[in-house]
Amino acid sequence: MSKGIAENSENYQPGLSIDCVIFGFHDNQLKVLLIKTPYEDKWSLPGGFVPLDQDIDTAAVTVLNDRTGIEGIFLRQFATFGRVKRNDKHFEEVVLEHFKIPEKARKWFTQRFVTIGYYALVDFLKAIPQKETSGESIEWIDHKEVPELILDHKEILDKALQTLRIELNLMPIGYNLLPEKFTMPELQKLYETILDKKLDRRNFLRKINNIGILNKLEEKKSNVAHKAPNLYVFDKEKYDEVLKNGLNQGW
C-alpha cells in the first residue's frame, strides 16, 4: 500500500487515513484483527488511505475486503482522531526507510495525519486474514490480550469497543458475529464477552425475546453431552428493521 502511494501520492487525500477495528467472535473470545509489519515491533490496526476519487466509506470497505477477503460486512464509522501529537516522527522515519520512499513523496508521508475510525463485525469462520506483503503477520487476537500498538491505535481500539458496548443498547447484534444457527447460551455469551460481565440468564432471555428478532428452530443442537439446547436463527427481516429504527424506544 505505502509503496503504491509513494509513486502516486498526488492521487490521495492528503493528511487523511482510515483505520479499521475488525471484530470477530470465536472460542468465547471477542477477537480483533491486527497486523505486525516487518518494520515495526508494535502491532497496528489494518488501515489505508483515501483515493481522491473515492468516498471515505468506500475506502474503508476496501480496507476491510482486502484484509478479510469477504464483502458485505457490517461496517460503521465511529470517530475521527485528530490530535496533533498522534503523529510520530520515529514511526514516519521507519516507514520512509523501509519503503524507500522517494524524495518527492516524503513530504506527503511526513505531513500531519488525521484518521477516521471504522469498526466492523465479521464472521470469524468466513474471514480469512490476508497479508499484504510476505514479511507481515496478520492475526486474530483476543481483545484482552492486545500487544502494544503503534501511534494512537490502542485509543482507537478502546473507543471502538466502547462504541460497540453502547450500541448494544441501541441495536441488535450477533447476525454478523455468530454462525447461522446458534443456541441461547451462545448468544448470551456473545453479549457477556462484549460487555465483559455476567448476565442473568432469565433476564437475558426475556429481554432478547422481547425484541422479537429470533426464530426458534425445531431441530436441536447435536453432539452435546447433556440435554440438547434449542437452536435459533435471526429473523433477518425483523432484525434489519430493528437495526434501522433502533432497539430502544426509550422515551
Binding site for its own copies (CB under 8 A): 13-16, 50, 52-57, 77, 79-80, 82-84, 111-112, 114, 116, 166, 168-170, 191, 195, 199, 204, 207, 246, 248, 250-251
Q: Is residue 49 helix, strand or coil?
A: strand
Could you give the angle at the alpha carbon of 215 between the alpha carbons of 211 and 216, nearest 5°?
120
User: Which residue's CB is nearer to its own copies, number 8 or number 80?
Assistant: 80
First to last CA, the chain: 47
Give the single-character DSSP code of 246. -
Question: Least distance to its own copies from the beta carbon of 200, Å?
Answer: 10
User: Which residue's CB is nearer to its own copies, number 54 or number 62?
Assistant: 54
User: Which residue's CB is nearer to its own copies, number 79 or number 95?
Assistant: 79
CA distance 144 to 160: 14
User: Which residue's CB is nearer to its own copies, number 85 or number 226?
Assistant: 85
Angle between helices 153-167 and 184-195 (to 10 degrees): 130
Q: Are strands 29-36 and 137-142 parallel, antiparallel or unpaired?
A: antiparallel
Question: Least distance to its own copies from the beta carbon of 173, Å?
Answer: 10
- Using only the alpha carbons of the chain, give its radius of gyration: 20
Question: Least distance to its own copies from the beta carbon of 116, Å?
Answer: 5
Which residue's C-alpha cell is 510520530?
88
Question: Least distance to its own copies from the beta carbon of 160, Å?
Answer: 14
User: Which residue's CB is nearer to its own copies, number 116 or number 138?
Assistant: 116
Q: Is residue 168 helix, strand or coil?
A: coil
Q: Is residue 34 helix, strand or coil?
A: strand
**Do residues 145 and 47 lie in contact, with contact meaning Cβ atoms separated by under 8 Å?**
no
Measure Cα distances from 80 to 9, 11, 74, 181 in Å.
22, 22, 19, 36
User: Which residue's CB is nearer to its own copies, number 113 or number 182?
Assistant: 113
User: Which residue's CB is nearer to its own copies, number 70 or number 79?
Assistant: 79
Question: Least distance to its own copies from the beta carbon of 120, Å?
Answer: 17
Question: Least distance to its own copies from the beta carbon of 139, Å?
Answer: 29
- Tell me which amino acid residue 109 is: F
Question: Least distance to its own copies from the beta carbon of 34, Å?
Answer: 23
Which residue's C-alpha cell is 426464530?
215
